[in-house]
Structure 1
Amino acid sequence: MKTLLYLCLVVYTATAVHLKDVEVKYPHYINLSDNDEVMQTVDLEEQPDIELLEDIFRNPDNNRYLLYTRDNPLVAQTLQINNTLGVYFSKFNAWKPTVVIVHGWLSDRNTEVNIALTDAFLRKSDVNVIVMEWRRLALSGYVTATSGVPAVGRRLGQFLEFLHRVTGAPFESMHLIGYSLGAHVVGNAGRELEGKVARVTGLDPAGPLWNLNKDRLSSSDGIYVEAIHTDGGVLGQGIGSAIADADFFPNGGTSQPGCLTSFCHHKRAWELFASSVTYDHFLGRECSNMLQVSLNTCRGKIFKMGNGDISKRGSGLYRLNTDRRYPF
């Protein structure tokens, strides 16, 4: 009897976890939100706003690039692509590492993830932090925002190429970080730069419409690409499958301690990452497959999750368990 129950558990778990490049069948309508506790009902089969998308493709400079440093940690300086004088007279320092933060859907420059990560990085290290705001598209419908992600990401890549060209800031000192839809934005930015940036981090990369999407975040988008998955369960907002060089699944990657809603599970990715920048204390255990991730039976090598190490390198699947409250 015990053997039968164990076999049933194995079969159930193997079908419940997401494997690489397996299509996840979402329902017609799903509840999503990247920015607040009020979930939005999204029609995943709705037609995108073609007029807005055409304008985004024609005018990609709807993006705003907001620079924060230790000299201006609270009041941003706005940088513009092809405005060389603006960069020269800003506090941007090409000799220091550059961290780029990209928010998700229904968000803008003032969203919590931007504030938390900017503060964590500037307290820990003397770096340039650039928050990219793409609110015009991000505040549109989910299907429309998803459709415009590649164009927004490519323009971010072109902006970083401009910074490299006029200041000499090396790609090898750039770390691109994106939350939810923003994870796919930074993936496309890295792709535009032919994978030359040192590091790309995806914080619970968005799942709906992205599982088999060729424009999603991938391991070729940077020298080292990391993904942290926290809401990859059935109907979860995250992609839930291995897509990077190193993929971390805190608490199994589908639900998080102390959380009762999908939104809470989802945002835990950036909360954990912010904590890791400060304390660098999360130790993942390598897993052979997703079944081990789900059953918490991983016995491989230890590898740290998150942190701000620009030279970090590694690969594999990792599981770790966290507490329910900061610093987790």
Structure 2
Amino acid sequence: MIWLNWQWEVKLVEMKYTLALLFVSLAYTAHAVPIQEATAHYQRHIQFPGDDGLMHDVDLEDEVDEELLVGIAERNAYYLFTRLNPDSAQTLVINDADSIRNSNFNPAHNTVVVVHGWLGNQNTGINGRIRDAYLGKGDANVIVLDWRRLARSNYVTAVRGVPIVGVGLGQFVRYLVGVTGASYDRIHLVGFSLGGHLVGNAGRELEGRVARITALDPAGPLWVFNSNRINSNDGRYVEGIHTNGALIGLGYGSAIGHVDFFPNGGESQPGCLTPICDHNRAWEFFASTVSYNHLVGRECSNSLQISLNTCRGNQFPMGNDHMDKHGSGRYRVNTKRRYPY
């Protein structure tokens, strides 16, 4: 009798353990987030793409370069492009009013600030593509943030410094508004990968007053449990475009804003054979929507609908350059393989 009771207790424990594993697995799948740093699926060594178009080995337990972080926000550079100077940048400097007053910045026009990702700089592909889309459509102030001093550090240091650089961007925007009289209603912050979280921190510094914030496949590794990641409180309208946010993806796969788009399911993209291509499609899609405003999503009730392409809810446009955009929900967008998608 004692042996039978012991055997039954062992089976009961086994059943509880199996159910617990099943629950964790289902929760993980339903949440659809890249949780590389989560205990159950932790990978210390991963590969992550730089804005140089290459995959790089990353140690998620790398040492943080604390010395580099001292005063890092002061090393940001801001480059202005308008239709009067579409190819030759004018440098804007915080606390230097003349650099702004003597530039082509026009407060009557919409302002978009473009922020690159890890290992990027002012010449990274995202900057020129989005700049040309805006200036090819109409008058605008396009400001490119070059945060290369931090972005070229190891990934872990870059993650640690993103909130600092984001606060610096917020302070610059506040100064720009103070000097020019520009309205927060006409300011749009756009960031890619690590830059997606950076613009969130900038919006937070501005107490959520900017009209729009767009995170283009915001980075996933080391952000799942990070309170500094972008969220819907960072701007009046916060939008996420997720193109490589699967379980082993490079982007953050869960909703982060008022509206989140999951093109082609949000994991891999038509015409792409590599994760870098999938990741970069976020800014390529966005630039295309600025020009054509043609990619429209269907609202989804859950993650399964997103994956199976069975979303049948309301329609809502992805991206574009509208400053009065408002909405809520998760949407799937189906695209073509080639530009303009």
| TM bracket (short chain) | over 0.9
Matched, 1:309 2:322: yes
Contact 2:242-2:266 at 8 Å conserved across structures: yes
Amino acid at match of 1:40: H
Aligned to 1:134: 147
User: CA distance change for structure 1 residues 21 and 170 in 2, over 3 Å: closer, same or farther?
Assistant: farther
Matched, 1:71 2:84: yes
User: Which segments of 5 or more consecutive residues in structure 2 lack a partner in the other structure?
Assistant: 1-23
Query: What is the CA–CA distance in structure 2 between the aligned matches of 1:50 and 1:97, rounded to whole Å?
Result: 37
Matched, 1:99 2:115: no
Query: What is the CA–CA distance in structure 1 between the aligned matches of 2:43 and 2:248, rounded to whole Å?
Result: 8
Larger Rg: 2
Between 1:23-32 and 1:240-249, the stretch displaced more is: 23-32
Aligned to 1:80: 93
Matched, 1:40 2:56: yes
What is the DSSP-based 3-state SS (H/G/I as helix, E as strand, rest coil) of the residue aligned with 2:70? helix
Matched, 1:189 2:202: yes
CA offset at residue 321 of structure 1?
Answer: 1.0
Aligned to 2:245: 232
Contact 1:14-1:291 at 8 Å conserved across structures: no
What is the DSSP-based 3-state SS (H/G/I as helix, E as strand, rest coil) of the residue aligned with 1:45? coil
CA offset at residue 16 of structure 1?
Answer: 3.1
Aligned to 1:5: none
CA offset at residue 14 of structure 1?
Answer: 6.8
Query: What is the CA–CA distance in structure 2 between the aligned matches of 1:99 and 1:210, rounded to whole Å?
Result: 25
Between 1:132-141 and 1:16-25, the stretch displaced more is: 16-25
CA offset at residue 236 of structure 1?
Answer: 1.0
User: CA distance change for structure 1 residues 20 and 267 in 2, over 3 Å: closer, same or farther?
Assistant: closer
CA offset at residue 34 of structure 1?
Answer: 3.1
Aligned to 1:27: 43
Q: Deviations over 1:73-119 (max 9, x none)?
A: 00000000010111111101111111000000010000000010000
Aligned to 2:123: 110
5 Å matches for 1:1-328?
15-19=28-32, 24=38, 25-56=41-72, 60-328=73-341
What is the DSSP-based 3-state SS (H/G/I as helix, E as strand, rest coil) of the residue aligned with 1:286? strand
User: CA distance change for structure 1 residues 279 and 26 in 2, over 3 Å: closer, same or farther?
Assistant: farther
Contact 1:257-1:324 at 8 Å conserved across structures: yes
What is the DSSP-based 3-state SS (H/G/I as helix, E as strand, rest coil) of the residue aligned with 1:166? helix
What is the DSSP-based 3-state SS (H/G/I as helix, E as strand, rest coil) of the residue aligned with 1:159? helix
Query: What is the CA–CA distance in structure 1 between the aligned matches of 2:290 and 2:172, rounded to whole Å?
Result: 25
Query: What is the CA–CA distance in structure 2 between the aligned matches of 1:256 and 1:188, rounded to whole Å?
Result: 28
User: CA distance change for structure 1 residues 233 and 26 in 2, over 3 Å: closer, same or farther?
Assistant: farther
CA offset at residue 19 of structure 1?
Answer: 4.8
Q: TM-score, normalising length from structure 2?
A: 0.89
Q: Deviations over 1:239-270 (max 9, x none)?
A: 01011100000000010111111111000000
Contact 1:105-1:180 at 8 Å conserved across structures: yes
Q: TM-score, normalising length from structure 1?
A: 0.93
CA RMSD of aligned residues (A): 1.7
- Could you list the structure 1 runs, at least 4 aligned residues long, displaced by more than 6 angstroms after superposition: 11-14, 20-23
Contact 1:100-1:129 at 8 Å conserved across structures: yes
CA offset at residue 234 of structure 1?
Answer: 2.2
User: Which segments of 5 or more consecutive residues in structure 1 lack a partner in the other structure?
Assistant: 1-10
Between 1:286-295 and 1:61-70, the stretch displaced more is: 286-295
CA offset at residue 35 of structure 1?
Answer: 1.4
Contact 2:263-2:332 at 8 Å conserved across structures: yes
User: CA distance change for structure 1 residues 26 and 254 in 2, over 3 Å: closer, same or farther?
Assistant: farther
Q: Name the count of aligned residue pairs.
A: 315
CA offset at residue 18 of structure 1?
Answer: 3.1
Q: Deviations over 1:13-49 (max 9, x none)?
A: 8743535897754411110013134210100111211
